[in-house]
């Protein structure tokens, strides 16, 4: 048996399964300080990313719970410092840096919480973290954006895609602070972009800010691409997933838009499906209006295209994980649907399974 070494000046931090890519999930008693160290310095990219995700998830779930009870919100200086170290390391691939700057999604946070989920609290906790990153790392984010926002021609290769990914997440985090200059920069990128990736990324950033720049960009986007159905699908989707209280009425109004047709499966999915599946705060509104709107649309669509209607209805499948008031409203809507005698087999099966799931 090898004798333990006594010449190590500091307690080592374990970086496990280095270079290991199999789909395993380990539960390990790793201290937060060790995770912060690994996030900032680990030479294994996956372990570095995983350390960041673990730290961010812990912070996000804690703050989502605090928002429900009125408790003080937490901050994690080590997490921000680790993100800053990664952003400053130009030896790293831009695509990797872009991944590390993106916090866990709302859906991932909800799955981590598991029960009594409050989508509003999750959204607010994630928005606070994004705002904190934008504020605390603002200078580094701006430097990276300026460095990457070159006038070189568009290149559809992996290196170009990585540079665009990093540039666009930097832009989004800068705008997350509400800074007028960052919003103006998003509009400038939208107008000058020579590729759809950059133009859509700028439009997505603008979609979260209820300002004249947003309306200007959405109007221009529709005029530019009105004859391209697949691109207009994206135009509908971005408006459907905007996480603000006015979105439900906007989606309702868009169902009367000349370019919208309930008989077009892609168009129905891009607007109604996107709202139901990807806009968790507004689909799961506390007043139940999101549930009722989607259910009524499904009933209208069912006779024309039961497969699309069933896919939209599947958005209700996680209703049992919600907090009590939303859970009760979702169940009431599902039971209203179940009582309709003319449901197609597809929709009836989804409703029955959703009500029966434990």
Task: State both tokens at 48.
Answer: 């570095």
The whole model's pTM is what? Answer: 0.91
- CA 231, distance to chain mean position in Å, is 20
What pLDDT does 9 receive? 67
Please give the pLDDT value at position 21: 61
CB contact burial 6-20 (16+ within 10 A = b; e otherwise): eeeeeeebebeeeee
Which pLDDT score is estimated for 2?
60
CA distances from 320 to 57, 82, 327, 354 (A): 22, 36, 6, 9
Report pLDDT for 176: 97
CATH 1.25.50.10, applies to 228-358? yes
In whole angstroms, give the CA distance from residue 192 to residue 199: 8
The DSSP bridge partners found for residue 322 are 117
**Cβ atoms < 10 Å from Cβ of 342:** 9
Chunked into runs of 10 residues, the chain (358 residues) has average pLDDT values of 64 71 69 86 87 95 96 95 93 95 96 96 98 97 94 82 96 96 96 95 96 96 97 98 95 97 94 97 97 97 94 96 97 97 96 87
Torsion angles phi and psi, residue 258, rounded to 5:
-55, -25
Residue with token string 């540039």 = 167
Structure tokens at 177: 């602070």
- Model pLDDT, residue 3: 65
Identify which of 13, 18, 138 has the alpha carbon closest to the alpha carbon of residue 87: 138
Q: Count CA within 13 A, CB hemisphere, residue 268.
A: 21
Residue 230: burial class (beta carbons within 10 Å; 0-12, 13-18, 19+): exposed
Residues in Cβ contact with 254 at an 8 Å cutoff, skipping those fewer than 6 apart: 236, 239, 240, 260, 271
Domain coordinates in residue numbering, the chain: 228-358
Per-residue pLDDT, 252: 97
Q: By the 8 A CB rule, do 95 and 161 touch? A: yes
Which pLDDT does position 37 carry in this prediction? 85
SS (H, E, C) the chain: CCCCCCCCCCCCCCCCCCCCCCCCCCCCCCCHHHHHHHHHHCCCHHHHHHHHHHHHHHHHHHHHHHHHHCCCCCCCHHHHHHHHHHHHCCCCCHHHHHHHHCCCCHHHHHHHHCCCECHHHHHHHHHHHHHHHHHHCHHHHHHHHHHHCCCCCCCCCHHHHHHHHHHHHHHHHHHHCCCHHHHHHHHHHHHHCCCHHHHHHHHHHHHCCCCHHHHHHHHHHHHHHCCCHHHHHHHHHHHHCCCCCCHHHHHHHHCCCCCCCCCCHHHHHHHHHHHHHHCHHHHCCCCCHHHHHHHHHHHHHHCCCHHHHHHHHHHHHHHHHECHHHHHHHHHHHHHHHCCCCCCHHHHHHHHHHHHCC
What pLDDT, on the 0 to 100 scale, is given for residue 201? Answer: 97
- Looking at residue 178, its pLDDT comes to 94
Query: How far apart (Å, rounded) are the C-alpha atoms in residues 286 and 264?
Result: 30
Radius of gyration of the chain, Cα coordinates, nearest whole angstrom: 23
Copy the structure tokens of residue 142.
């701006």
Q: Which residues contact 331 (CB under 8 A, 6 or more apart)?
A: 319, 355
Residue showing tokens 């979609």: 207
């Amino acid at each position: 048996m090898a004798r333990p070494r006594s010449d190590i000046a500091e307690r080592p931090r374990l970086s496990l399964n280095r270079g290991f890519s199999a789909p395993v999930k380990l539960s390990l008693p790793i201290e937060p300080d060790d995770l912060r160290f690994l996030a900032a310095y680990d030479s294994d990219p996956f372990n570095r990313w995983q350390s960041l995700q673990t730290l961010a998830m812990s912070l996000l779930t804690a703050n989502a719970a605090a928002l429900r009870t009125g408790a003080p919100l937490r901050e994690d200086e080590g997490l921000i410092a680790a993100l800053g170290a990664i952003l400053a390391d130009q030896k790293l691939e831009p695509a990797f840096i872009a991944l590390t700057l993106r916090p866990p999604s709302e859906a991932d946070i909800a799955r981590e919480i598991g029960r009594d989920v409050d989508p509003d609290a999750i959204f607010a906790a994630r928005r606070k973290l994004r705002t904190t990153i934008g504020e605390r790392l603002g200078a580094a984010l701006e430097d990276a954006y300026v460095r990457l926002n070159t006038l070189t021609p568009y290149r559809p290769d992996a290196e170009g895609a990585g540079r665009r990914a990093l540039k666009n997440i930097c832009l989004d985090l800068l705008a997350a602070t509400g800074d007028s200059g960052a919003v103006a920069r998003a509009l400038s990128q939208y107008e000058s972009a020579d590729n759809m990736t950059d133009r859509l990324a700028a439009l997505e950033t603008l979609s979260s800010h209820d300002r004249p720049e947003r309306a200007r960009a959405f109007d221009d986007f529709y005029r530019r691409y009105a004859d391209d159905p697949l691109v207009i699908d994206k135009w509908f989707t971005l408006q459907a997933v905007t996480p603000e209280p006015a979105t439900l009425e906007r989606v309702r109004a868009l169902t009367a838009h000349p370019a919208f047709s309930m008989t077009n499966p892609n168009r129905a999915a891009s607007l109604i499906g996107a709202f139901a599946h990807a806009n968790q705060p507004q689909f799961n509104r506390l007043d139940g209006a999101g549930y009722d709107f989607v259910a009524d649309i499904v009933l209208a669509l069912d006779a024309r295209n039961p497969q699309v209607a069933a896919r939209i209805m599947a958005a209700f499948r996680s209703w049992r994980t919600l907090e009590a008031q939303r859970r009760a409203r979702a169940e009431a809507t599902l039971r209203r649907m179940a009582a309709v005698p003319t449901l197609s087999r597809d929709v009836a099966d989804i409703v029955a399974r959703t009500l029966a799931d434990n």
